[in-house]
Amino acid sequence: MRRSCPVRHNASAMPGLVIVGAQWGDEGKGKVTDLLAERAAAIVRFQGGNNAGHTIVREGEEFKFHLIPSGILYPDKTCVIGNGVVLDPRILLGEIDGLRRRGVDVNNLKISANAHLIMPYHVLLDTAGEVKLGKLSLGTTRRGIGPCYADKALRLGIRVQDLLDEKILRTKIRTALEPKQQALRELGVQRRKLRKEAGEGGGADEQQAVEDAPDPRLDLHTMTEEHVSYGHRLEPHIADTAKLCWDALDADKTVIFEGAQATLLDLDHGTYPFVTSSNPIAGAACVGAGIGPTDINEVWGVAKAYATRVGAGPFPTELSDEAGRHMLEKGHEYGTTTGRERRCGWMDLVALRYAVRLNRLTSLAITKLDVLSGVGPLKVAVRYRSREGALLDSFPYHQSILHSAEPEYEELPGFDADITACRS
């Protein structure tokens, strides 16, 4: 028996709006969020950490955000860091201080008490993991994101609310550190090996003593005191952010849920293992912000008129020719967080259709069309061809097929006009 649909929010007001990346990230989600924030009561970041970066230009001023939601430039909007985010308190406080120096009011920033903290040992372990993998490294930003999410799943995580109780904080840090000692010792051995291979240090006793000394960042007392001080500074921002969302939605106010990274970097549905450590797809907004599925009214995907990717992993339409270089230079395709060059390629409709279906996109925002001015002909991948010659209209689920898939293109005429000033 079918039940009648529940009463929905006022559809014209779009109370629950999720914005996600529809490619491999860096599509311009921050700009789209910033434009829509003027109509919203709250902007909520629901996953990821400071491995993400949004760049917004407002009245000629450039702002780079890593943790703070894109709506912070509106003093009357509530900006929320949700429970699904992992945050490095040192980085967050640096962002807050930087905004205050530029005259931006951050009193409207709210942080979920249930968000997990990136600790110094997470950063060390992230770096160690990438070094150990060598040529097989995943291309992480080495910001500690993966190890922090791992601790969360292992129930060894430290949450924002723990900063407000020194006794609990000290106990949790001690508990989390114990199983990591062996991994951190291996980090030291690996570091010494690399230094020796590079001809540094020469194995001198003094250098050996320095290498063997405990990392001061991992001293229990120092770490506890430092994080208690972070807690004092962040306490005015810590809140029950799920209830803030509920109250706004129940009052038919617009709430924007902002994702970091993008669909094809999703931990479950992306190009695993070359993915991020969380779920950037629309459905994760429910978990990462503490709302229900029926609170989402619209899902907007953001995609570039071409495609880019940072780090390792399959990228069927990647270019290594003059057209790719043009996209890199004219599109200023350098990572906001790492400064790394982004890999560039033609728009991939096979991957984009996958993102549309996976997120159930209701709208699609296409950015950076002006970058393609002067390039011709333009190409769009409409299907893949497998190594065995099979035509693939759907995004392949098997990694071996995806890694060797060749795109089949349709060509479109290019254009030479400068459309950077176009607004309609």
pLDDT in tens, 131-186: 666 665 665 677 899 999 999 999 999 999 999 999 999 999 999 998 887 777 77
* Catalytic entry in 54, 116, 122, 227: 54
Tell me the pLDDT tens digit for each residue of 290-310. 999 999 999 999 999 999 999
pLDDT at 140: 67
Output the pTM of the full model.
0.88
* 88 annotated active-site: no
Domains in the chain and their CATH numbers?
Answer: 12-113+240-412 (3.40.440.10), 116-236 (1.10.300.10)
Tokens matching residue 187: 């980090």
* Catalytic entry in 9, 26, 227, 348: 26
Residue ranges of E strands in 78-184: 78-81, 86-87, 109-112, 116-117
* Side-chain-side CA neighbours of residue 316 (13 Å): 31
* Side-chain-side CA neighbours of residue 61 (13 Å): 8
Q: Which residue has the higher pLDDT, 83 or 337?
A: 83
Tokens matching residue 379: 């190409």
Instruction: Calculate the CA 392 to chain-centre distance.
Output: 29
CA distances from 266 to 277, 296, 344 (A): 8, 19, 20
| Position 6 confidence tier, pLDDT thresholds 50, 70, 90 | very low
Measured CA to CA, the distance from residue 186 to residue 50 in angstroms comes to: 26
pLDDT at 137: 61
Other beta carbons less than 10 A from residue 301's beta carbon: 29
* 162 annotated active-site: no
| Position 319 confidence tier, pLDDT thresholds 50, 70, 90 | very high
Other beta carbons less than 10 A from residue 37's beta carbon: 22
Give yes or no for residue 271 having a pLDDT over 70: yes
For the chain, percent of residues with pLDDT exceeding 70 = 88
CA distances from 212 to 122, 198, 200, 205, 223 (A): 19, 18, 16, 10, 20
